[in-house]
A and B are shown apart, each in its own frame.
Chain A
Amino acid sequence: MTARAGLRARLPAGLGLNLGVLALLALLVAAPLMTILMQTLDPERIGAWSDVLASPLSRNLFWLPALNTMALGLGVAAGCVLIGGFLAWLVVMTDMPFRGLVGFLATLPFMIPSFATALAWGTVFRNGRVGGGGGLLEGMGIAVPDALAWGMTPTMIVLIAHYYALGFTVIAAALATVNGDLVEAAQMTGASRRRVLFGIVLPVVMPALIAGGSLCFAGAVSNFAAPALLGLPVRMQTLSTRLFGMIEIGQVERGYVLAILLIGLSAVFLALGNRLLAGRRSFATISGKGGRARRFALGRARGPLTALALLICLVTTILPILLLIAASLAPMASSLFSGWTLHFWIGEADPAFARGQAGIFNNPQLLRALTLTVAIGAVVAFLANVIGILVAVALTRHRLRGISEAVSQLSFLPMLLPGIAFGAAYIALYGAPIGPLPALYGTSVLLALALTAAMLPFAVQTGRATVAQISGDIDEAARLTGAGFFRRIGAITLPLASRGLLASLLLCFVNVISDLAIVVLLYTPTTPLLSVLSYRYASDGFHQFANAVTLVILSISTLAAGLATLLRGRNRPWLSS
């Protein structure tokens, strides 16, 4: 036996892989966060902490926005679990008609940018309190109370309408795996449908409810567009509008401190959620042949519940999309349904119209942005999933005490990092050169790295599920042939995981191309992405163009999502009758 082999034998299997993955995550996730933290601890800037936390300013700078943020997060999480769970229950466990349609529509809202949903809300519910005339409802002579037009309520509703899709996806998947016997065993006792639902089904899927709620919470607290559009007019600030504003007016340190606090607060709330989860022991599905769930007969409630489900789906998907389309065609934002023109899409530059802006398809930047967006989306999806698979293999095949926990935590941390804070962290870290490495600022590499890190939670989650499905025996059989680790990954794990992976790739892709929160601080002139192009049109006052670009993003997302649905088709057993 050589010395090297002897050494290897003494080290635990997979140590190298675990350490490698840990190092990667430290670079992508831990380092940016530490940098941002260190920057605020600089002696010259440490005052920002007391400004934020303990000064006459802190009430408006931190505490009230924090309160709003957490209320928003909890409200959105609860609402999403409720609506997402309700739809998931109807689609997976009942005999509701149009289950396939509802199941597809309910996954769409997440792809519609939240600012579009917010705009849609404004178009309908805006009232004249702050001038500019009212929305559609006021146009029809229906008075809209302030509370419905501005502030916490509409922001929360818009965010629920945006994020419930996440809740639906997670809960529907969990419901589909609920052993039908569990439900029948409960029916045998004579329990009512309601009692079976609340006594058996809901508790069994509680981990999924909490997981879905956590995702929605994380999304809501870091969302910028909705609170900025609907909250500011009544001076409702959230941590994310505050930190964006602070960075915007040049008080960067305070912005960073707010970002760290937002991360910390989110972490605390999510940990509380996990504590709830941990309090319920041993949820592991009990092995044994499970019967297929028998669908609840909805009976007389079938019609009304179907109508309600379709209404929710249509209102949260078709309505924002229709309004976006109208807003990309109407010359005047004040009358969305008159004087439609395709100028904003395909018009030639005309000094007499729209300040001489040519339609988006005549904007040479659009094509560049389109290719770049798709390219970055593809690269990031690929990178994130490669890392995701490595992390998943380390976590499922080679668990090591201590290291595995760190790897697991770090890979889920980006979920807690608001996009804006994440972007700021990457600027802070990679803006300057480190040792012999060049500064990454100004390169699309930086953007790709940040987005890759941001997509890790999705990729790792999917990766773990996929890798766990592949029997360890298969990998061991390959190992006996003498194939090395990467060879086995390439020849055995990847091909077997390909279907799940493909779906995960597309999920990351959709997320990347519609992301603005991270990109808005990180994009560079060499990397004009579609979401930035849309943002830039909007900030120059060209709303129709901005909306048209948004629709382009949405079409790419929907195409990708459709492809993902096709690929995942057979993985949606809840749609079979």
Chain B
Amino acid sequence: MITLSHLGKTFGGAQAVSDISLTVPEGAFLVLLGPSGCGKTTILRMLAGLEHPTAGEIRFGDTAVADASRGYVMEPGSRNAGLVFQSYALWPHMTVAGNVDWPLRVANLGREERRARAAEAMEMLGVAGLAARYPGEISGGQQQRVAIARMIAPRPRVLLFDEPLSNLDATLRVEMRTELMRVHRATGATAVYVTHDQIEAMTMATHVAVMNGGRIEQFDPPERLLSDPASAFVARFIGTPPANLIPVQAGAWFGRMPDPALRGATGHGMVRAEDLALADAPGPDTFAAQPVEVVPMAGRRLVTGLAEGQRVTAVTDLAGPVPSELHFRLPPAPAAIFDPKGNRLS
């Protein structure tokens, strides 16, 4: 179980992270999701013990590993946590086996124990065959596996990942996601995973904290982020394709198409791409748009148009050529309504 209470961190006066509170159970897979600069990596580094919180507390189970009020910080090595760096941070002067073995040596394990654990970790990640190679001699994907093997060999209770897949190509990324989930299940440890890729979050996480500007926008299981976004930010960030946020003014779409379902609101109405349809001709519930792009996806097509300066995307079964003017048909009601500041109204 990991508990963060009112966690905060300032760097020389700049607030990187403020008032973060969340709890995940033992064995959870927590993803910190957000754009770059949102503070997610800072939280991860505080969990690792590489940064010291300036406010709040971090507990692993019943143990406080950092408590800013007491000025207490537990050394990284004592936290029983492992970290996979974005750069992998393999030690270039040691072989693959040497990299996996070194943390075990530091832990003063016996020779037999070390050999068994290193072999087990390398087996699990499928890099046993590379044991004698140096990091410079293996591919990026293999380096990634070695970095993970190195992390799990000492059997930490907390697994920390800092955007570990960002340097891999698309195919490898998909493969490694599965691999990571397998490793996570096999170890039974609690994982905290930092990424800006919402697909990674959606596929791997049991819990997701969507972050923005050093704060948590929403902390929920992945499905809830889709079904019930807490803010316009989350709605825009999550989903493939992300939901359309169409401006509404005094209960009218674009300020000119009154709709009682908007209940007089001003702000944005959220319309999922799958709820938006293409109409053959203009109607009372349609609006016109210039076609921008068409992306085939899973046998259907994502059609994006520009309406009053706003990108709008619909999932359609449209066949044949794209007409020179699009007409999007609005659903009977928006999935959600946000005020101009992005707060959820309904």
Contacts and interface: CB of A to CB of B under 8 A. Distances in A.
- Direct A–B contact in the complex, CB atoms closer than 8 angstroms: yes
Interface of A: 179, 181-182, 184-191, 195, 199-200, 203-204, 206, 280-291, 294
A121 to B, nearest CB: 38
Contacts of B91: 182, 185-186, 200, 203-204
B137 interface: yes
Contacts of B92: 182, 204, 282-286
Which of B78, B81, B82, B93 neighbours the largest number of chain A CB atoms within 10 Å of its CB? B93
Q: Which of A285, A286, A290 has the most CB of B within 10 A?
A: A286
B106 interface: yes
A195 B134 CA distance: 21
B136 interface: yes
A396 to B, nearest CB: 19
B85 A181 contact: yes
B93 A181 contact: no
B89 interface: yes
Contact of A188 (B82, B87, B94): B82
B102 A281 contact: no
A191 B106 contact: yes
Which one of B50, B75, B107, B135 has the highest number of Cβ atoms from chain A below 10 Å of its Cβ?
Answer: B50
Given A188-B82, A290-B87, A282 B137 contact: yes
Contacts of B77: 187-191
19 contacts: A179-B89, A181-B85, A184-B83, A184-B85, A184-B89, A185-B89, A188-B48, A188-B82, A188-B103, A200-B91, A203-B93, A206-B93, A281-B134, A281-B137, A283-B93, A284-B136, A286-B87, A286-B136, A294-B50
Given A281-B134, A282-B136, A286-B136, A189 B87 contact: no
Contacts of B154: 189
A307 to B, nearest CB: 27
Contact of B83 (A188, A190, A204): A188
Contact of B143 (A195, A203, A286, A294): A286
Given A189-B77, A189-B107, 7 more contacts: A184-B50, A186-B91, A187-B77, A188-B48, A190-B75, A284-B136, A286-B87
A289 B87 contact: yes
B310 interface: no
Given A187-B50, A286-B135, A286-B143, A291 B106 contact: no
A195 B105 CA distance: 11
A179 B50 contact: no
A289 B143 CA distance: 14
Q: Which 9 A-B pairs have the closest CB atoms?
A: A190-B77, A282-B136, A288-B87, A181-B89, A189-B103, A185-B89, A203-B93, A282-B134, A181-B85
Most buried by A among B83, B87, B90, B102: B87
B104 to A, nearest CB: 9
Contacts of A281: 134, 136-137
Nearest to A187: B76
